[in-house]
Amino acid sequence: MLCFTKTPLQESLIELSDSSLSKMATDMFLAVMRFMGDAPLKGQSDLDVLCNLLKLCGDHEVMRDECYCQVVKQITDNTSSKQDSCQRGWRLLYIVTAYHSCSEVLHPHLTRFLQDVSRTPGL
């Protein structure tokens, strides 16, 4: 479930309490794909997409973990045809962490993911 996909999500990765948040989560995933170059920008710049993501995370704290999970999903076993997709995903993760922290529940899992990746040769 937490591996790169070429198709947009149909539902959130974490269980969200209401349908409007679930819709935000699927829109967020499209934004992640756009930032990484895996979906067309639709007249937006990278900066527009990034600002929208950061604002969404700022306005809805519950969406922060969703954003983290989505970015981790897209950088895990990334098989994108776009050469810099994975690099852009790592850049996005770096930017999101600079602005918003994840929850205490997600923190140990995210830390473990980063430790595992850092030990993987070639990554």
Confidence check: pLDDT of 5 > 80: yes
**Which pLDDT belongs to residue 121?**
79
Q: What is the 3-state secondary structure (H, E, C) of the chain?
A: CCCCCCCCCCCCCCCCCCHHHHHHHHHHHHHHHHHHCCCCCCCCCHHHHHHHHHHHHHHCCHHHHHHHHHHHHHHCCCCCCCCCHHHHHHHHHHHHHHHCCCCCCCHHHHHHHHHHHHCCCCC
Residues recorded for the chain: 123
- What is the per-residue pLDDT across 73-110, written as a single tens digit (0 to 9) for each? 999 999 999 999 999 999 999 999 999 999 999 999 99
Q: With the C-alpha atoms ordered 116, 119, 122, 123, is the resulting torsion angle positive or negative?
A: positive
Predicted TM-score (pTM) of this structure: 0.94
Confidence check: pLDDT of 39 > 80: yes
Question: 17 pLDDT band (50/70/90 cuts)?
Answer: confident
| Average pLDDT over every residue of 33-55 | 96
Confidence check: pLDDT of 122 > 80: no
**Which pLDDT belongs to residue 123?**
64
Token pair listed for 114: 């980063």
User: CA nearest 8: which of 23, 24, 30?
Assistant: 30
Confidence check: pLDDT of 19 > 90: no
